Amino acid sequence: MRPLALAVLLAPAVALAGMPSYLLSEVARWRVEAISFFLLVFLAVVLAVKALWNRVQRDFPRLPRLGLGSAVALVFLWGLGFQLVLSMIAGGRELMTPGAWERTGTTHRLKRTELPGDKELVVQARRQRLEELRTALWAYAQSHGREFPPDDFSAGIPDERWKVLGGSGMHFIYVGGTKVDAPGRPLVYEPGIFGRERLVLFADGDIRMLPVDDIHAALGGTP
């Protein structure tokens, strides 16, 4: 029997051992950690409230002593009150700025709005300058039988209204001899310092961005 037992002990064999283990997913583990941290903080606040209350009770014997259960109930009620106040603040904020907040997980944040770039800001400023000139031209036409000025010198419009955006001192290019609401007729457009694409004010009050070739075509081919 000894040689047989020795052979069994020395013979190689596959060892089967271990037991099944169950692991939480990453999201579940985060939630368990968050809940554990919340319970730990809640317990710390309960013990702090209990200790402070009983410390004050020494100087004011009329106050009842606070036990652990009562401290838990008191902190829980305070938490509910704070939650109610915060919910009212969040509701009022949403009512004052509807649609300005978006939900991100358990919280909210302001929606991101794309700010215009430098090029868009410059175009807006150029358009604003042309709109100011449009106001002056329409005011002139109302007092002159719906006719625009014959030129940009004898119109009685301030010189600043004719200047384009920037420090170049250049004027808008004005096309005289036009009446209000003349269909498809360019009235004022920007000079060449703004490139091929220029803002154009038409006699019907519309302002559009057009290539310079289209502007010349609308004027009958005459630059």
Q: Give 52's pLDDT tier (boundaries 50, 70, 90).
A: very high
**pLDDT band at 21, cuts 50/70/90?**
low
Contact between 172 and 131 (Cβ < 8 Å): no
Q: What is the pLDDT of residue 192?
A: 87
- Which pLDDT belongs to residue 16? 53
Residue 109 DSSP SS3? strand
Task: State residue 6's pLDDT score.
Answer: 57
Domain regions of the chain by residue span: 26-110, 118-218
Q: Which of the pair, 44 or 219, is modelled with greater confidence?
A: 44
Provide the percentage of residues in the chain whose pLDDT is more than 70. 78
Give 171's strand partners.
163
Spatial contact of 169 and 163, defined as CB atoms under 8 Å apart: yes
| pLDDT the model gives residue 15 | 55
Q: Where are the beta strands (DSSP E) in the chain?
A: 101-104, 107-110, 173-174, 186-189, 197-202, 207-211
Q: Indicate the DSSP class of residue 132.
A: H
